[in-house]
């Protein structure tokens, strides 16, 4: 048992409740989908999952802060700096099209550092979780988790490289740099959202990069990748999440310096 055992048990309880709602709405013929001001989709499942998690946290952790993608920051972090950060459905575009790669992301932060992360992808039958000092695990549910570990690949020429979208890197002015990396690697694939980071944490690929993410996209992933032995920074090499809309460069650790050299901001080189 670690200092976060009770919080991890609560995170699994939140994920169980989230999974019940999201799996019921996944591929439902009457799913309601609207467009947000930024023209990205949001479904009734996104809002219902976040409302349920908010209700459970209000009941179990009334003193903690909460930031969620759909309903914002309320309450704010308490005097001890504890704050839950939730993405009710990561991969909404997949969800609304019936693609099973989506998940509920739950993180606990202390003074802005993620200390616990849980990713639950019920349509894949898989969950990943970690807390600082307690290791990283994956399995179908809390009772049957097995430890996970990043790969030992040392050379980019032998690496599986994963990116979410090329257009994001084009907007960041680094399309040429990404293409160069792709030419150097053994294999490159695009898996968006949480999925590339969880494959990295399990050792199934070696590098995952996203140019611009919000705190709720990243917070839960960081403890899982780092407790599995990996490294997650922004493009300047600062530990992720570094604040604001930010990049998330994740590697098995062994390839981090090389990737930062190729994709980092000039200041990082």
**Which residue ranges make up the site for Ca ion (CB under 5 A)?**
69, 87, 89-90, 92, 217
Which of ligand IPD, Ca ion, none lies near 164, with the C-beta cut-off 5 to 8 A by kind? ligand IPD
The sign of the torsion formed by the CA atoms of 89, 250, 202, 14 equals negative
Chain residue whose CB lies nearest Ca ion:
90
How does DSSP classify residue 134?
T
Q: Which of residues 151-210 bind ligand IPD (CB under 6 A)?
A: 164, 192-193, 210
Is 87 a binding residue for ligand IPD by CB under 6 A? The answer is yes
- Cβ atoms < 10 Å from Cβ of 199: 17
- Shortest gap between Cβ of 97 and ligand IPD (angstroms)? 12
Contact criterion met (CB below 8 Å) for 92 and 35: no
Q: Taking CB under 6 A as the rule, which mask of x and - marks residues 208-227 in contact with ligand IPD?
A: --x--x---x----------
In whole angstroms, how close is the CB of 36 to ligand IPD at the nearest point?
A: 9
Pinpoint the alpha helices (H) of the chain: 5-25, 44-60, 92-97, 166-171, 175-184, 193-201, 215-218, 221-227, 256-263
Q: How far is the CB of 102 from ligand IPD (least distance, A)?
A: 7
Using CA atoms, how far residue 152 sits from 158, 174, 210, 256, in Å, is 10, 27, 22, 12
Contact residues toward ligand IPD (CB under 6 A) are 40, 69, 87, 90-92, 164, 192-193, 210, 213, 217
């Amino acid at each position: 048992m670690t200092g976060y055992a009770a919080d991890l048990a609560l995170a699994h309880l939140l994920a169980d409740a989230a999974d019940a709602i999201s799996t019921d709405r996944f591929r439902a013929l009457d799913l309601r989908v609207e467009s947000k001001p930024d023209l990205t989709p949001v479904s009734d499942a996104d809002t219902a999952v976040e409302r349920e998690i908010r209700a459970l946290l209000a009941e179990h952790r009334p003193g903690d802060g909460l930031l969620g993608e759909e309903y914002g920051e309320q309450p704010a972090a308490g005097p001890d700096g504890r704050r839950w950060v939730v993405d009710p459905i990561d991969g909404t575009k997949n969800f609304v099209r019936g693609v099973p790669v989506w998940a509920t992301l739950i993180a606990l932060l202390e003074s802005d550092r993620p200390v616990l992360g849980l990713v639950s992808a019920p349509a894949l039958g898989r969950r990943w979780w970690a807390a600082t000092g307690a290791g990283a695990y994956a399995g179908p549910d809390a009772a049957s988790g097995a430890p996970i570990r990043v790969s030992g690949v040392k050379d980019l020429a032998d690496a599986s490289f994963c990116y979410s979208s090329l257009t994001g890197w084009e907007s960041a002015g680094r399309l040429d740099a990404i293409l160069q990396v792709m030419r150097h690697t053994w294999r490159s694939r695009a898996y968006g959202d949480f999925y590339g980071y969880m494959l990295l944490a399990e050792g199934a690929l070696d590098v995952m990069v996203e140019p611009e993410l919000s705190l709720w996209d990243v917070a839960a992933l960081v403890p899982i990748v780092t407790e599995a032995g990996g490294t997650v920074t922004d493009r300047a090499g600062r530990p992720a999440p570094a604040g604001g809309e930010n990049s998330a460069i994740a590697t098995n650790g062994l390839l981090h310096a090389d990737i930062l050299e190729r994709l980092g901001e000039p200041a990082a080189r």
